[in-house]
Structure 1
Amino acid sequence: MSVFTSKRARKVLGGIAVVSASAMILAGCSGGTTDEGSEPSAPTDREDLTLSIGTVLPQTGQLAYLGPPEEAGVGLAVAEINAADMGITVEVEYGDSGDPDNKAFETTVPRLIDSGVSALIGAASSGVTKLFLDEAVSAGVITFSPANTSPDFTDWPDENLYWRTAPSDLLQGEVLASEIGLDGYANLGIIYLNDAYGSGLEASLTENFEAGGGTVVASEAYNANDTSFDAQVSTILAQNPDAIAVIGFEETSTIVPAFISNGFDGSKFYFVDGNTQQWGENMPVSIEGSKGTQPGPVLADDFQQRLIDQWQEQSGEELEDFNYAAESYDAVVLLALASLVANSTEGADIAGALQEVSGGSGDGEKCDSFEACAQIILDGGTADYDGYSGAITFDDNGDPTEATIGVFQYGADNTHERIN
């Protein structure tokens, strides 16, 4: 197996970055390529399949703002797969993941497993997934996250049952470090949530920023239930940072004002996917000029409109964010395509075909919709799905080897627009 890793973002203080932070691409390939002329893997004798999936996505908790776009992505994929009528019907049951504090997943996951689902879509939080992943693996159920970014999952003993369409934070850390360097900052302070997500991203950001010539002058952790951050704020500000990276979730709206009330400039913050949200009035101070990163390419206008319409139908509400909607949509499409290849709805059988339908193995024909890919499979060929979240291309660990990280900047109303 040949492994290609991303180019290291490098910054020369006062100079030019070698790699642009606008879209860091991770390209790779894996073993298991089908030889030319070999028989396609798709079976010839078929029965219509009914694939049952469940969601473990945040309806409550610190990441509840991610629930609507993720559930909209799932719902849209299910609707479009079923409308295509290509020999597979997907049934979905929605459930709440909550967070490590309210532990809604402790009720949701057993309920979904007992109902006979082949796959769980979720969780959004890496910390939550860690708490139920072994339970799902023991049950032979796939866990497919659209948003987990912790590097810890790459080597998890998951029996090939864990997959994700979100890239590891090793990549996001490179892009964020490069962006901070390109903006001319040499001395960085970091405050981060002390969990799998926060500590992994902090480590990647620190490594890449310092490899590019910068200095992390202070890095302070906090715990999920903390309500006061005065100690961390004082320690970081004592080191006179040029910029501050905040790695966390909803508590960001308390952390940032604590820095600003002590004289730090509100335009010099950097956020990550967990807190690069449309803060608006929920952020009580101005963060105009601050930036953040989120995985995912620019979404096509027609896809956004389909998501908006789908969420209106599902919930009767307006969809205001699109975070991880594409990754959620693609997760469902990939599961359905793999089920078609395997001619099975058993978790292990589906998992055995996921790398192939992503283009990570086999010599597949490119296709960019469920219907087009399904037709290739039904005709006896090998499909290579490129989705709304990117080319994906799974490696042997179930990680996408191709990804794009967007850079966003906040305006006067504390909402952001994509700038790269």
Structure 2
Amino acid sequence: MKKFLLASAATALCANAALAGGHGDEIKIGVLLGFTGPAESIAAGMAPAAEAAIQEVSESGLLLGGKKVTPVRADATCVDAAAATAAAERLITAEGVSGINGALCSGATGAALMNVAVPNGMVMISGSATSPGLSHMNNEDNGLFFRTAPSDARQGVVMTEILREAGIDEVAVTYTNNDYGKGLADSFQAAFEAAGGTVTINAAHEDGKADYSAEVGALAAAGGQRLVVAGYIDQGGPGIIRAALDAGAFDTFHLPDGMIGNAITDRFGTEINGSTGQVPGTDSPGAARLAEMGEAQGFDGTAPFAAEAYDASALILLAMQAANSNDPSVYKEKVMDVANAPGEQIYPGELAKALEILANGGDVDYVGASAVELIGPGESAGNYRQIEVRDGKIETVKFR
């Protein structure tokens, strides 16, 4: 880690000089997601949404006097801190980006932020990193980090509400052994027990194993009315579910955000009917508009974290316009301003209008696709879509 920090510090002066120059008529935005690894199917839904906002702004010709904006993808892998650090380093020092949308997973986000973004003074806005531990980094991030996805401190409460309302008072918990999994599992256990529930076991699992029978044996022995699987949709989470079904240990599951997507029902279908879960989302007008935009442009605007990814890009670009600068050390001060009232409310497809208002000295309240409201040190207030698997499909039950 020290080597990366030194490398980043050594290149900071060069990178900041490039930023001050504005990259001529082009501004680059990094899209740092886990394109490979345990959440790659989630990244596949997020990236085109993140890039749709960038394209919308670029085509408007209204950003900072007519600058074009180009997305640059980089793979943070979700599970390899060194890879995440190297990917962020490339975006800043080789590509000369002026902001980073990402990363996807919490561990990768923390590594890229503290090893690279902070030493280089780079703004990062994540649409999916949810670990409560990232909130504590706000004391060290120099005001550079924001997120449009809510913290798992909030998700733990929402999970508790869903399960208790369903009459579930005893659960077993298994979590992927990293920042995301442990943070969510601990937040949930605290909330569930405070609400009178019992967590019979709270045990880690490692990703990438071929056989999870031993883990499922321990979970089954502890018992519970439902198994909470705080894992990744493309890694150990499905392995746990498969082993639990084969052993007859559990037949319904609770699925947090990292486990929700078409990949899970494509794999299990009706086998997991009655399973529940939640993922960030709203039934706001902005969510409907992004869904329409996605249909027209060939991406799924309703995919998990797609709304938050679109909003992350939009906030970066609107903050630049508000600050009249693409220098992160300058426009970081405007992110909270454009995200919150007062000002004219702005939804997906209206970024040109927002840019015009800001250029004329007006104020905007960016509501976006996820009903954006930033609180505290750049945290999302948090909205969730409650789901249930019915007839082998993910169905929306309500919004919270």
TM-score by length of 1: 0.81
Aligned residue for 2:258, secondary structure, equals coil
Report if the CA contact (8 A) 1:359-1:394 is conserved.
yes
1:53-97 per-position Cα deviation (integer Å, ceiling 9, x unaligned): 111112211110012221111121112112323234322112222
AA partner of residue 42 (structure 2): L
In the alignment, structure 1 residue 395 sits paired with structure 2 residue 371:
no
After TM superposition, the structure 1 = structure 2 runs for residues 201-216 of structure 1, keeping only pairs within 5 Å, are: 201-216=184-199
After TM superposition, the structure 1 = structure 2 runs for residues 306-325 of structure 1, keeping only pairs within 5 Å, are: 306-310=293-297, 312=298, 319=300, 322-325=303-306
Deviation at 1:334, TM superposition (A): 1.0
Partner in structure 2 of residue 339 of structure 1:
320
In the alignment, structure 1 residue 241 sits paired with structure 2 residue 228:
no
Distance 1:292 1:103, change over 3 A: farther
Distance 1:171 1:97, change over 3 A: same
Distance 1:102 1:129 in 2: 9
| Counterpart among 169, 177, 181 of residue 160 in structure 2 | 177
Report if the CA contact (8 A) 1:50-1:345 is conserved.
no
In the alignment, structure 1 residue 168 sits paired with structure 2 residue 151:
yes
Report if the CA contact (8 A) 1:90-1:336 is conserved.
no
| Counterpart among 49, 52, 57 of residue 81 in structure 1 | 57
Report if the CA contact (8 A) 1:119-1:347 is conserved.
yes
1:103-155 per-position Cα deviation (integer Å, ceiling 9, x unaligned): 64344222211121111111110011122212111111111111010111112
AA partner of residue 293 (structure 2): R
Deviation at 1:214, TM superposition (A): 0.9
Deviation at 1:101, TM superposition (A): 4.4
| Counterpart among 261, 276, 281 of residue 260 in structure 2 | 276
After TM superposition, the structure 1 = structure 2 runs for residues 347-386 of structure 1, keeping only pairs within 5 Å, are: 347-359=328-340, 363-368=342-347, 369-386=350-367
Distance 1:231 1:121 in 2: 38
In the alignment, structure 1 residue 296 sits paired with structure 2 residue 276:
no
Q: Provide the aligned length of Structure 1 versus Structure 2.
A: 361
In the alignment, structure 1 residue 128 sits paired with structure 2 residue 108:
yes
In the alignment, structure 1 residue 55 sits paired with structure 2 residue 31:
yes
In the alignment, structure 1 residue 416 sits paired with structure 2 residue 399:
no
AA partner of residue 358 (structure 1): A
1:4-60 per-position Cα deviation (integer Å, ceiling 9, x unaligned): xxxxxxxxxxxxxxxxxxxxxxxxxxxxxxxxxxxxxxxxxxxx9743211111221
Report if the CA contact (8 A) 1:49-1:345 is conserved.
no
Report if the CA contact (8 A) 2:270-2:390 is conserved.
no
Aligned residue for 2:153, secondary structure, equals helix
Distance 1:373 1:254, change over 3 A: same
AA partner of residue 240 (structure 2): I
In the alignment, structure 1 residue 264 sits paired with structure 2 residue 249:
yes
Deviation at 1:240, TM superposition (A): 2.4
Report if the CA contact (8 A) 1:273-1:295 is conserved.
yes
Aligned residue for 2:111, secondary structure, equals helix
Report if the CA contact (8 A) 2:389-2:395 is conserved.
yes
Report if the CA contact (8 A) 1:253-1:284 is conserved.
no
| Counterpart among 71, 85, 90 of residue 92 in structure 1 | 71
Distance 2:310 2:45 in 1: 10
AA partner of residue 407 (structure 1): Q
Runs of 4+ in structure 1 deviating by more than 4 angstroms, as ranges, are 101-104, 299-302, 318-321
Partner in structure 2 of residue 327 of structure 1:
308
Distance 1:400 1:102, change over 3 A: closer
Unpaired runs of 5+ residues, structure 2, are: 1-23
| Counterpart among 42, 45, 69 of residue 66 in structure 1 | 42
Distance 1:258 1:221 in 2: 15
Aligned residue for 1:286, secondary structure, equals helix
Report if the CA contact (8 A) 1:337-1:357 is conserved.
yes
Structure having greater relative contact order (Cα 8 Å, sep ≥ 6)? 1
Report if the CA contact (8 A) 1:121-1:145 is conserved.
yes
Deviation at 1:343, TM superposition (A): 0.7
AA partner of residue 124 (structure 2): T
Identity %: 28
1:263-319 per-position Cα deviation (integer Å, ceiling 9, x unaligned): 2342x2100110112223423871011111101113644422422443x4xxxxx64
Aligned residue for 1:261, secondary structure, equals helix
Distance 2:165 2:238 in 1: 26
Partner in structure 1 of residue 97 of structure 2:
117
Report if the CA contact (8 A) 1:49-1:87 is conserved.
no
Higher mean C-alpha deviation, range 87-96 or range 147-156: 87-96
AA partner of residue 66 (structure 1): I
In the alignment, structure 1 residue 146 sits paired with structure 2 residue 139:
no
Distance 1:380 1:143 in 2: 25
1:227-279 per-position Cα deviation (integer Å, ceiling 9, x unaligned): 4333332222112211110000122221012112222342x210011011222
TM-score by length of 2: 0.84
Distance 1:333 1:101, change over 3 A: closer
Distance 1:287 1:103 in 2: 36
RMSD: 2.2
Distance 1:102 1:131 in 2: 6
Distance 2:292 2:213 in 1: 43
Higher mean C-alpha deviation, range 166-175 or range 132-141: 132-141
Aligned residue for 2:75, secondary structure, equals coil
